[in-house]
Structure 1
Amino acid sequence: MTTPGFRPTHVVPQDGMPAWEVPDPTRPTVPLDALLPVQLAERRGDWAYVLCANGWSAWVDGRRLVAVPQDPPLADGPLTRAADPRPLLARAEQALARYRAAVEELAAGGLAGEAFRGRTRGLRLGVVVDGESMWLYDAEQGRWAYADGARLSTYATDDGPRAAAGEAGHAPTQVVSPDGA
């Protein structure tokens, strides 16, 4: 359940990330799930204290957080099928139902751990609802979408920007470590 007033400022990288109870690498805790929306609460050098959409809080390597836009895009123009949030909501419900069914079968002893991992492999779901605002992770498109109740627009994506058709491609900016790797 999301805390009232929660508004994500970042998401966890797509591979998840380690977390700590305090900014001390000798005291790890449960890692954070991939693409989990978080709200940055405090910074101490490279350390970041985050409040998570799932109600948890932890210290993480703040350099690895993926920033999201401060304000969601405004929904303007007429509603189109591509901007209708209902198909994405239906896919989120289906993914959650598949996960819940696998958990129920595992808890009832009808499914072994490896079979559970196989049945849930590839399932991805992310939902934050705050009043009329909603952020949904669209696993098919690799994006977070923002909905205001009637319209849906892209909020953040897994992929970097692409050149428009017919434009000359430019190499993306690359981050390199101090040793040049």
Structure 2
Amino acid sequence: MTTPGFRPTHVVPQQGMPAWEAPDPARPTVPLDALLPVQLVERRGDWGHVLCANGWEAWVDGRFLVAVPQDPPAADGPDSPGADPRPLLARAEEALARYRAAVEDLAGAGLDGESFRRRTQGLRIGVVVEGESVWLYDPAQGRWVYGDGTRLSTYATDRAPGAAADRGHSPTQVVPSDRGRGGP
């Protein structure tokens, strides 16, 4: 479920990042996944208060969030490889179905924890739908794409600029940091 009014302003860096319940290093929570679109709603020094598409909120080291364009790329821009959204949507549905089946087997005692981890290892999916707009993570290309229902445009990528140029477009580059995992 997408929070009404959610519009990503940033993405989480490619290595993911720690998160906190409040701007206090003593109150850690679940870390944020790599390339997750978030909306920065408040800054307090180095701390950034972010909102995720599902309404979940957290505090992060705001210095390491990667800004994205204010508006999604225009669908009438240059085509991206795989500009038709249907194949990527089908792969997302397949990954979600595989995860759901593993969860059902785990809940029904058909799998133990280790078997569940093995069965879900390598699954990666990212989908944000807001009305006619969709943001999809393409793990094969290492990028988030934006779609308007007919075509996809690269929104953010974890590839180096040379690799992006080889694909014929210039996406937003996600730059890894050298920081530790502690608080801001």
Q: Does TM, normalized by the shorter one, top 0.5?
A: yes
TM-score by length of 1: 0.85
- Provide the residue aligned with 1:162 in structure 2: 162
Deviation at 1:15, TM superposition (A): 2.9
Tell me the CA shift for residue 78 of structure 1. Answer: 9.6
- Displacement of 1:69: 1.6
For 1:12 and 1:159, the matched residues in 2 are separated by 14
Does residue 1:115 correspond to 2:112, yes or no? no
C-alpha separation in 2, matches of 1:128 and 1:38? 11
Equivalent position of 2:40 in the other structure: 40
Q: Secondary structure at the match of 1:82?
A: coil
Residue 81 (structure 1) shift = 7.9
Q: After TM superposition, give the deviation of residue 64 of structure 1 in Å.
A: 2.0
Looking at structure 2, the residues matched to 81 and 11 of structure 1 have their Cα atoms a distance apart, in angstroms, of 21
Percent identical:
78
Q: 1:13: Cα distance to partner?
A: 2.3
Shift of 1:34: 2.7
Moved more, 68-77 or 127-136: 68-77
> Counterpart of 1:15?
15
Taking structure 1 as reference, are residues 62 and 81 closer, same or farther at Cα in structure 2, changes over 3 Å only? closer
1:147 paired residue number? 147
User: Does the Cα contact within 8 Å between 2:14 and 2:176 map onto a contact in 1?
Assistant: no
Normalising by structure 2, we get a TM-score of 0.84
Instruction: Please identify the structure whose Cα radius of gyration is greater.
Output: 1
Q: Distance in 2 between matches of 1:153 and 1:56?
A: 26
The structural deviation recorded for 1:150 is: 0.6
Contact preservation (8 Å) 2:18, 2:32: yes
**Cα distance change of structure 1 residues 174 and 131 upon mapping to structure 2, 3 Å threshold:** closer
- For 1:153 and 1:40, the matched residues in 2 are separated by 22
Q: 1:94-128 CA deviation, whole Å, 9 max, x = no partner?
A: 01001000000000001111111111111111111
In the TM superposition, structure 1's runs of 4+ consecutive aligned residues that sit over 6 Å from their partners are 77-81, 173-177
Gaps of 5+ in 2: 167-174, 180-184
CA separation of 1:77/1:106 partners in 2, compared to 1, >3 Å: closer, same or farther?
A: same
SS in 1 for 2:99: helix
The residue correspondences of 1:71-82 to structure 2 (distance < 5 A) are 71-76=71-76, 82=82
Name the residue aligned to 1:169.
none
CA distance in 1, matches of 2:80, 2:50: 36
Shift in Å, 1:44: 0.8
CA distance in 1, matches of 2:50, 2:78: 37
Amino acid corresponding to residue 156 of structure 2 in structure 1: A
Report what 2:53 is aligned to.
53
User: What's the Cα RMSD here?
Assistant: 2.4
In the alignment, structure 1 segments of 5+ residues that lack a partner are: 166-172
Cα 1:109–1:130 change in 2 (3 A) is same
Residue aligning to 2:69:
69
